[in-house]
Structure 1
Amino acid sequence: MAPLIPLLLIAPLLVVVAYADLSRMRIPNVLSLIALAVFGLVAVVAPPDDLLVRIAVAGTIFVLGFGAFCLRLFGGGDVKMLSALLLFVPVPTMPLFGYVFSASMLAGIVIVLGLRRIPAAHRLGWKSISGSTGFPMGLSIAMAGILHPAAAFLIASPLPG
Structure 2
Amino acid sequence: MDLTTAQALWFLPPVLPICIYVIWSDLARMKIPNIATDTLLVVFAIVGLLALPFDAYLWRWLHFGVVLALGIAFNAAGAMGGGDAKFCASAAPFIAFGDLVIILVLVSAAALAGVASHKIAKRTPIRRWTPDWVSWNPEVGKRKFPMGYPLAGSLLAYLVAGLFYGAA
8 Å CA contact 2:32, 2:84 repeated in 1: yes
Match of 1:24 in 2: 29
Q: For 1:84, which of 90, 102, 118 is the aligned residue? A: 90
Question: TM-score by structure 1 length?
Answer: 0.85
Aligned alpha-carbon RMSD (Å): 2.1
Task: Report how many aligned residue pairs link the two structures.
Answer: 157
Q: For 1:2, which of 3, 6, 19 is the aligned residue? A: 6
Q: For 2:112, which of 101, 106, 113 is the aligned residue? A: 106
Match of 2:137 in 1: 130
Match of 1:65 in 2: 71
8 Å CA contact 1:6, 1:88 repeated in 2: no
Task: Tell me how far apart the structure 1 counterparts of residues 137 and 124 of structure 2 sit (CA, whole Å).
Answer: 10
Task: Tell me how far apart the structure 1 counterparts of residues 91 and 133 of structure 2 sit (CA, whole Å).
Answer: 24
Q: Which has the higher contact order (CA 8 A, sep 6+)?
A: 2
Match of 2:102 in 1: 96
Closer/same/farther in 2, CA of residues 136 and 102 from structure 1, 3 Å limit:
same
State the SS of the aligned residue for 1:10.
helix
Equivalent position amino acid for 1:127 in 2 = V
Q: Larger deviation: 54-63 or 102-111?
A: 54-63
Task: Tell me how far apart the structure 1 counterparts of residues 11 and 112 of structure 2 sit (CA, whole Å).
Answer: 22
Match of 1:151 in 2: 161
Task: Tell me how far apart the structure 2 counterparts of residues 45 and 127 of structure 1 sit (CA, whole Å).
Answer: 39
Match of 1:35 in 2: 40
Question: TM-score by structure 2 length?
Answer: 0.82
Equivalent position amino acid for 2:8 in 1 = L
8 Å CA contact 2:26, 2:32 repeated in 1: yes
Task: Tell me how far apart the structure 1 counterparts of residues 87 and 126 of structure 2 sit (CA, whole Å).
Answer: 30
Equivalent position amino acid for 1:11 in 2 = L
Closer/same/farther in 2, CA of residues 42 and 95 from structure 1, 3 Å limit:
same
